[in-house]
Structure 1
Amino acid sequence: MPGASNTWGNCATPVVQYESRVDAQEFANPYDLAPGGPPLPTYDEANASTEIAPHQDSPTLSEYDVYAIPGLYAQSAMGHGDASEAHTQPLQPAPEPVPWINDGQMPYMVPYSDNSKEVVSSGHSDDMDSHYILQGLVNGYDSTIDHAASDEDVPIRADDEESRFLEEDLSEHYGRIPERQPRRHRTLRRVPLRDGHLVLDCPVPPKLLEKQAIQEGSEFTHMRYSAVTCDADDFEKDGYMLRPALYNTPRETELCIVLTMYNEDEKLFARTMHGVMQNIAYMCSLKKSAMWGEDGWKRVVVCIVADGCNHVSSRTLSVLAAMGVYQEGVRQTEVQGKPVQAHIYEYTAQVSVTRNMKMLSKERGLVPVQILFCMKENNQKKINSHRWCFNAFGPVLQPKVYVLLDVGTKPCSRSIYRLWEAFDRDANVGGACGEIVALKGKLWHGLVNPLVAAQNFEYKLSNVLDKPMESAFGYITVLPGAFSAYRYEALKNDVMGHGPLATYFEGEKLHGGAGNADIFTSNMYLAEDRILCWELVTKRNCAWILRYVSSAQAETDVPHEIPELIAQRRRWLNGSFFAAIHSAIKFTYIYRSTHSTVRKVFLHIELIYLAIQLLYNWFILANYFIAFSILTDSLAHVVHWVHVPAVICSYIYIAFVIFCYLLSMGNRPAGNKLGYLLSIIVFGLLMLFMMVSVIYLSVTSVMDAVRETQPNAIMSNPTVVRVFISVLSTYGIWLIASLLFLQPWHMFTSILQYLLLSPSFVNVFNVYAFCNTHDVSWGTKGSDTNKVPHADLFVPGNVVEVAMPSEPTDLNAAYEDACHILANKPVRTRPGKNMEQYQTDYYAAVRTNVVLAWTLTNAALAIAILNLPYHVHTVYLAFLFYSVAALSFFRLLGVIAYLVAKLFPSKQVPQV
């Protein structure tokens, strides 16, 4: 800013002379901008007893040559977790300066020529005009330097200890970003606190600022860091503020887009984040919109919540650092003796990083994006991350709509706008979701994996049948946490503290060990998003409804391995089963709402349908075996030589069901992959035998009817009628619904894989889920209480001393470190095994009782039906066919109603 005497070294509250009041407001500490707040006392840095940490010279290259020992260099530069600070050795800077392309560009290099040791042109195409590939930073450090006392003629063997260290340290890292070189200036600064809060305005690296289209304004020139020492529920009460609320005219937040992550890698994060930035750019391109337009980005805040400092990927932090959001060395763990609960970084980014680690900016149509990065100190699970977004940031930002995304899920370019549009058109919409699409890869090569193909078909069925039908009634049983949206006003609790959010966050207490819940409640909260949907629709004195937006799509990566899929379905099946029982028991909650009489009637009809579905799901194990036995027995009556193979197949079926019980009671899926794989293969072969039986019996029955002389002989044949209805109620309705949504391709690419795996979904997944009802964990993420290796110096009074980089050289060096991490592809290693959580005897006993009840009732039904006369078998099978057909036609009617309502949209006002 012209006329400002500011220096890059002043990260806190420096003494600066400005030409205008606007400049002073732009660069002042954000707390000074709070309306009504008293100004802070002037902090005279010249008179303050600020000391510069003495720089200790590192050993010379001849004394300590880290470049001659690759393993030592890697071990020193890329430390892990708590031990990294303890044994990290000071490294010398590069012997030669890094040959940047020019002074105005960020340190991303084009291909490097080993022969000329010069930067050569890469021949930019149109796609390369507005970005630079994150590569070549390591080329600035020439590995061909002559080292003193180095054995350059002796090649390093693959089994050398140093090589092994190098391989390990190039793998995924978690926690802080590894440094290639020591910080030359780590300054101790005295920072005044206000109400005990540590807030730092840190300048962004000059090399990043030079590449940005907008270079004025504190939200573009400074990253704001806040060390939060309170719980999420006390964030506003303790006086913490966020940057959008600190302007003279606070910005109104229309959308708050929440991204939750744990240890996802940089590609998954960049994929999601870039998709979000494309959506915001699309909304800003709507020039005629009253809400959006050119400055529409000021109405959007992207909130990224990382679940634990020690678990977030260092490469993901490097992506955030490359965007200017994160700075290494700023984070503090204590403020005047109080432990920090969360670290908040706020910055308005103008640069996006794609999945291929390419930088895009305004030249590619992107707009500035307000980013709030909250990195929790400890791992406390995803539901706690949502509590920070709803209970901590919500009261400060007051967004109209929350959009929830999981890192790894990429929203399509207009999906977020389509979700917001559903709330804008109908003021009664309290929640909405879009279509979750399984990621199939280029040319759909992912469908080669039968697990991916089966899940693709399952997702499509849900999106063309279940979600539209439920949306027509106004109550969707679950809005997927991976891609959904909620109206903040609908989620708020009442003055007594009761409401959807209060019920939703009960799950955090239960799974955190703070509550003494029974096993029913604990399993129910495995699907806490279902509980939230039910509480929202039945909210007291309100009439909120849920909507499905088919035009809003988001791609997500589905499990590719059997253990991952089984563990996921265990949580889904148990959570949905117990949550369905909860909504059926608590159906009277409907009467506390203010829905119209017609809406309440529709909700009752939907609950009856869901209760019937619940009953079928309980007896699905027996019904599947009964259908298999009857069909194979019928084939044996027609083809006599098939009798022996049919009996053998029935015994194999029973044997592998028992085998699944034994596996589920004593083995984790990851611990016995071969056993589960064998079960899935065998059940697939048995399903193939059943499909052949059905086709042969159907063709035989039709041909026998054709031979009859009566004109109406075909339709009067009961076997032909049952076959016709069963085929129409399954494959026919699947195809009709898919054609209505103009998405029929899964019927040709994934239906066979789905049919062959369907008995495994019933027998393997259901058996494992019920046998593990005592396990109420999420299966993959544990809690931790470890602190990052970072300590604060305590100064009595309202001032603290913090050590942080401040010089432009160090800011650029830290920025280059982040880019250096992204320039090198990590060597992927297998994740370590997690210890199973200790389960109480009570949970184990209840598990046994539930499994016994489920098994005995299914066995009793199967034995009773199969020991009755043959004509009773036919009657029962006909009952199953007709009832399934009726439920399928009911779903189809719901789909048609949804599409008709979609053709005639109407803008509605809230009901009084």
Structure 2
Amino acid sequence: MLGTPGALIATAAAPSSAFGSGRPLADYGATRERLLRKRTVRHIELTNGNLVLEVPVPASISKSGQGAEFSRMRYMAVTCDPNDFVRERYALRPWLYGRAPVELMICMTMYNEDATLFTRTMSGVIKNIAHLCSRTRSKTWGQDAWKKIVVVVVSDGRKKANADTLKVLGLYGCYNEAVMLDHVSDKPTTAHVFEYTTQVVVGPDGTVTVGACPIQLIFCLKEKNQKKLNSHRWFFNAFALQLQPNVCILLDVGTKPSGTSLYELWKAFDRHPSCGGACGEIRVDAGKGQWQLLNPLVASQNFEYKVSNILDKPLESVFGYISVLPGAFSAYRYKAVLGAPLESYFKGEALHSGAAGVHAGTFESNMYLAEDRILCFELVTKRQQAWTLRYIKSAHASTDVPAQVPEFIAQRRRWLNGSLFASIYAVLHWYRIWSSGQGFLRKLALMLQAIYNLISLVFSYTAPANFFLAFFFLVSSATSDPTQDPFGGQGAAVLEAVENIFIALMVVCLVCSLGNRPQGSKLAYTGVMILFACIMGLTLYCAGFTTYLALNAAGLTNLRNWTLANIEQLFLTSGFRDIVISLCSTYILWLVASILFLDPWHMFTSFLQYMLLIPSYTIILAIYSMSNLHDVSWGTKGSDQAHTDLGQATTQKKDGKEVVQVKVPTTQGEAEELWSSMQRDLATPKPEVHQKRSADQKQQDHYANFRTNFLLAWIVTNAALILIFTSSWFNAYIRRKHKESGNRGPVINPYQTVVFYSMAAFAAVRAFGSLLYMLMWIFRL
């Protein structure tokens, strides 16, 4: 047993009446320093060998007569690894109050996000909990629903945390620097855990609204910066292990769920006992009036997110296996992820932290850049279990996306490398489907999905070559007849010039990617993206002109000739047939699916921007990610040194008992003074400060060697496709065969037909899956 609540609580002295004696208001820094110096030396008995303090919260947010959870903040200086949290007999308030197991635990992870991003997510969570409390007819929820919900905020590194965000947490009543200690009995503190049941809503400028529904809030401030996986390990292996939640929801700070989204996610688990994980729709936050869509980069990402949520996620949900539940907004059934899924998920932390005795090659290290994909695969293939993953279209959350080219490229590097190797891992381990507890029909469906994923992986690997060939075929087809040249008889010269520019841009991308950070080559990357957009516009123009040539060959440029025989002749013309079937099956199906989902607006606001930036997604991102396979970092560098700036609790013997001597604030007045100075500081506008980026760590030689070999293989494969299908002898052969067949349309390369029909097939499968998902959604299957 962990002991009784009374044994765990070391209560501070009663509030003093000396506060508010007319002392002039001081700024936060001065107030903080003065109160830190005034901390009272106290002797506190350790509880189960652990230091636990309870200190008053400011009168401005406390509720008298409602118990300690509303009037006192609880602090634990945790000195163990998260895996040992329960074993070391630490206890959380909900457990002490007999509220475990809880129904819902929400994990908000952050690094150094500012106060605006934090309050954005926190206010969304509070609205969702208020909604659950308002569902008075529910068997699970109702007026006291907040007692079944615990919100856990995990910050990755005390020195890395944003100062204003910590002040916001202080205004919530769940942070007080004055009580923190960096050592307890000579053991370094690994995490500072604050607990408070708050009833306020805080704005980024320090505005406080009192009277919100109660929120059981736990703030875990890690002493060291050990990355997001470690934060999730604190959540799952420490806090969730003790409170035994039914459903766990993961949120990144900066992602704002809509008012009922968390309920919608929870409802999926309540309605479907076999549901082991679920995700909702992540939307791009385009600002008020959608003004950020004026930025083509934001608009293209908006379109990409929408298409994924309308076509890809529904298709995978029908199969029962979503390849990735986004860590920024997803949910898991706790008992489903216990065991092998979480063990595999957290293996990535040991690999990337360089833990003693843990060694991994570059393939495995890159694979664990997409640790959420590994978790999803392990969950669905869990031995003798039959868990499925679902997409919940009624659950929404909005998030910021990169608005600048360097940030966009750097973000996608980790996404692309991780997803590539995680996908290869899933395809190579397809046989594990048959050792799971899934039903026979589900296993067959998962095998079909594995084949689909394999084909998608091949096309993804050869995407740069396929795009170049599509460009080459369309332009060469449109310019194949000098008498019907869209460039006034200069088609051959235009094709040669643009082809050389295309290759030169790829070389520029490759050179910039080998050793340069995107931030250091912003101008070069931006220029390349603009030129690729121009080439894409030229390609679309040639596609339209090729269609016109096919219409002209069939005599259909005159509306009077639109007879059934002529239309039949038109579809026998390979150029028209291939282009129309591939492009229309893709873009028209996008529009139809969007209308079925009652969300077609992105087709009008973001479609053109996405089309023009397709070469950048296909080529620039691919080249940069492949050129940096040796970089297996998550974009933040750890701060793994123990700090000694907070003071420590020293062990002493008193009356035969082991106690610690600590300096802590003792009065509610002091807490109120610090709270008020935090509020004033947040209300004071500050100049924007650009954070300095830490220097990249030197990578090991075998990482660089793997990168070189894989990059060479990738370049050779794509270059071979381009050289073969653009060679003069091959195209001469195609033109001869075309002439012998008597075809009046433009010359069509057979590989072009393969690419175009493959596009059509992929679009058809995605559209069918989307339609089937809608039917299942309507009938609640």
Does the alignment reach a TM-score above 0.5? yes
Cα deviations by residue, 1:291-311 (Å, 9 ceiling, x for unpaired) = 000000100000000101111
Q: Which consecutive unaligned segments of at least 5 residues does structure 2 have?
A: 736-747
Q: 1:690 to 1:282 in 2, by over 3 A?
A: same
Q: Distance in 2 between matches of 1:667 and 1:256?
A: 41
Given the alignment, which residue of 745, 768, 774 partners 1:893?
A: 768
Q: 1:696 to 1:197 in 2, by over 3 A?
A: same
Structure whose residues are more often helix by fraction: 2
> Residue 699 of structure 2 aligns to which amino acid in structure 1?
Q
Matched, 1:883 2:758: yes
Question: Which residue in the other structure is 1:754 paired with?
Answer: 610
> Residue 763 of structure 1 aligns to which amino acid in structure 2?
I
Given the alignment, which residue of 162, 165, 169 partners 1:313?
A: 162
Q: Distance in 1 between matches of 2:187 and 2:642?
A: 15
Contact 2:381 2:435 in 1 (8 A): yes
Q: Where does 1:383-462 land on structure 2 (aligned, <5 Å)?
A: 383-462=229-308
Q: Distance in 1 between matches of 2:10 and 2:208?
A: 40
Contact 2:61 2:199 in 1 (8 A): no
Contact 1:284 1:292 in 2 (8 A): yes
Question: Which residue in the other structure is 2:96 paired with?
Answer: 246
Q: 1:322 to 1:681 in 2, by over 3 A?
A: same
Q: Distance in 2 between matches of 1:570 and 1:589?
A: 29
Q: Distance in 1 between matches of 2:91 and 2:503?
A: 62
> Residue 189 of structure 1 aligns to which amino acid in structure 2?
R
Question: Which residue in the other structure is 2:80 paired with?
Answer: 230
Contact 2:257 2:398 in 1 (8 A): yes
Secondary structure at the aligned position of 1:706 is classed as coil
Cα deviations by residue, 1:13-53 (Å, 9 ceiling, x for unpaired) = xxxxxxxxxxxxxxxxx95338xxxx68999999xxxxx9x
Q: 1:702 to 1:177 in 2, by over 3 A?
A: farther
Task: Name the TM-score, length of structure 1 as normaliser.
Answer: 0.79
Greater Cα shift, 680-689 or 574-583: 680-689
Cα deviations by residue, 1:271-298 (Å, 9 ceiling, x for unpaired) = 0001000000001101100100000010
Q: Where does 1:723-734 land on structure 2 (aligned, <5 Å)?
A: 723-734=579-590
Q: Distance in 2 between matches of 1:844 and 1:185?
A: 54
Greater Cα shift, 702-711 or 385-394: 702-711
Contact 2:731 2:749 in 1 (8 A): no
Q: Where does 1:207-222 land on structure 2 (aligned, <5 Å)?
A: 207-209=60-62, 212=63, 215-222=65-72
Secondary structure at the aligned position of 2:406 is classed as helix
Cα deviations by residue, 1:150-196 (Å, 9 ceiling, x for unpaired) = xxxxxxxxxxxxxxxxxxxxxxxxxx977466227421111001221
Question: Which residue in the other structure is 1:904 paired with?
Answer: 779
Q: Distance in 2 between matches of 1:429 and 1:646?
A: 53
Given the alignment, which residue of 540, 551, 554 partners 1:702?
A: 551
Question: Which residue in the other structure is 2:721 paired with?
Answer: 861
Q: 1:31 to 1:736 in 2, by over 3 A?
A: same
Given the alignment, which residue of 470, 477, 481 partners 2:323?
A: 477
Secondary structure at the aligned position of 1:378 is classed as coil
Question: Which residue in the other structure is 2:349 paired with?
Answer: 508
Question: Which residue in the other structure is 2:362 paired with?
Answer: 519
- Once the two structures are TM-superposed, the CA of residue 471 in structure 1 deviates from its matched residue by 0.2
Cα deviations by residue, 1:805-857 (Å, 9 ceiling, x for unpaired) = 11233111111121122111221122213211101111111111001000011
Question: Which residue in the other structure is 1:327 paired with?
Answer: 176
Question: Which residue in the other structure is 1:150 paired with?
Answer: none
- Once the two structures are TM-superposed, the CA of residue 395 in structure 1 deviates from its matched residue by 1.6
Q: Where does 1:99-498 land on structure 2 (aligned, <5 Å)?
A: 179=31, 182-183=34-35, 185-209=38-62, 212=63, 215-247=65-97, 249-355=98-204, 357-362=206-211, 366-493=212-339
Q: 1:311 to 1:887 in 2, by over 3 A?
A: same
Secondary structure at the aligned position of 2:89 is classed as coil
Secondary structure at the aligned position of 2:555 is classed as helix
Greater Cα shift, 667-676 or 273-282: 667-676
Q: Where does 1:597-616 land on structure 2 (aligned, <5 Å)?
A: 597-616=440-459
Cα deviations by residue, 1:600-623 (Å, 9 ceiling, x for unpaired) = 000000000000000001111111
Cα deviations by residue, 1:850-901 (Å, 9 ceiling, x for unpaired) = 0100001111111111121253752211111111101110111111111111
Question: Which residue in the other structure is 2:679 paired with?
Answer: 819
Matched, 1:691 2:540: yes
Q: Distance in 1 between matches of 2:12 and 2:689?
A: 52
Q: Distance in 1 between matches of 2:586 and 2:168?
A: 47
Matched, 1:592 2:435: yes
- Once the two structures are TM-superposed, the CA of residue 215 in structure 1 deviates from its matched residue by 4.7
Secondary structure at the aligned position of 1:195 is classed as coil
Task: Name the TM-score, length of structure 2 as normaliser.
Answer: 0.92
Secondary structure at the aligned position of 1:688 is classed as helix
Secondary structure at the aligned position of 2:664 is classed as strand
Q: 1:544 to 1:384 in 2, by over 3 A?
A: same
> Residue 201 of structure 1 aligns to which amino acid in structure 2?
E
Q: Distance in 2 between matches of 1:41 and 1:331?
A: 16
Question: Which residue in the other structure is 2:397 paired with?
Answer: 554
Aligned length: 743
Contact 2:183 2:189 in 1 (8 A): yes
Cα deviations by residue, 1:646-680 (Å, 9 ceiling, x for unpaired) = 21000000011011111111311111111111111
Secondary structure at the aligned position of 2:651 is classed as coil
Contact 1:185 1:810 in 2 (8 A): no
Secondary structure at the aligned position of 1:505 is classed as helix
Contact 1:430 1:536 in 2 (8 A): yes
Cα deviations by residue, 1:568-590 (Å, 9 ceiling, x for unpaired) = 11101100000010001111111
Question: Which residue in the other structure is 2:419 paired with?
Answer: 576
Secondary structure at the aligned position of 1:188 is classed as strand
> Residue 846 of structure 1 aligns to which amino acid in structure 2?
F
Q: Distance in 1 between matches of 2:569 and 2:380?
A: 51
Q: Distance in 2 between matches of 1:794 and 1:503?
A: 39
Q: 1:701 to 1:321 in 2, by over 3 A?
A: same
Cα deviations by residue, 1:468-517 (Å, 9 ceiling, x for unpaired) = 00000000000000000000000111xxxxx1011110000011012210
Q: Which consecutive unaligned segments of at least 5 residues does structure 1 have?
A: 1-29, 47-51, 53-92, 99-139, 143-175, 494-498, 907-912
Q: Distance in 2 between matches of 1:335 and 1:181?
A: 22
- Once the two structures are TM-superposed, the CA of residue 437 in structure 1 deviates from its matched residue by 0.2
Q: 1:332 to 1:293 in 2, by over 3 A?
A: same
Q: Where does 1:10-29 land on structure 2 (aligned, <5 Å)?
A: none
Contact 2:11 2:54 in 1 (8 A): no
- Once the two structures are TM-superposed, the CA of residue 566 in structure 1 deviates from its matched residue by 0.6
Contact 1:636 1:642 in 2 (8 A): yes
Question: Which residue in the other structure is 2:665 paired with?
Answer: 805
Contact 1:185 1:806 in 2 (8 A): no
Q: Distance in 2 between matches of 1:732 and 1:832?
A: 46
Contact 2:317 2:391 in 1 (8 A): yes
- Once the two structures are TM-superposed, the CA of residue 793 in structure 1 deviates from its matched residue by 4.6
> Residue 43 of structure 2 aligns to which amino acid in structure 1?
R
Q: Distance in 2 between matches of 1:243 and 1:610?
A: 46
Contact 2:56 2:667 in 1 (8 A): no
Secondary structure at the aligned position of 1:236 is classed as coil
- Once the two structures are TM-superposed, the CA of residue 784 in structure 1 deviates from its matched residue by 3.2
Q: Distance in 1 between matches of 2:121 and 2:332?
A: 19
Q: Distance in 2 between matches of 1:41 and 1:827?
A: 42
After superposition, the CA RMSD in angstroms is 2.3
Q: 1:40 to 1:774 in 2, by over 3 A?
A: closer
Question: Which residue in the other structure is 1:843 paired with?
Answer: 703
Cα deviations by residue, 1:692-748 (Å, 9 ceiling, x for unpaired) = 111122123224323477443233322222222112221111101111101100001
Q: Distance in 2 between matches of 1:789 and 1:849?
A: 47
**Which structure exhibits the higher relative contact order, with contacts defined as CA atoms closer than 8 Å and separated by 6 or more residues?**
2
Given the alignment, which residue of 652, 666, 688 partners 1:796?
A: 652
Question: Which residue in the other structure is 1:137 paired with?
Answer: none
> Residue 481 of structure 1 aligns to which amino acid in structure 2?
G
Q: 1:788 to 1:730 in 2, by over 3 A?
A: farther
- Once the two structures are TM-superposed, the CA of residue 207 in structure 1 deviates from its matched residue by 2.7
Greater Cα shift, 699-708 or 548-557: 699-708
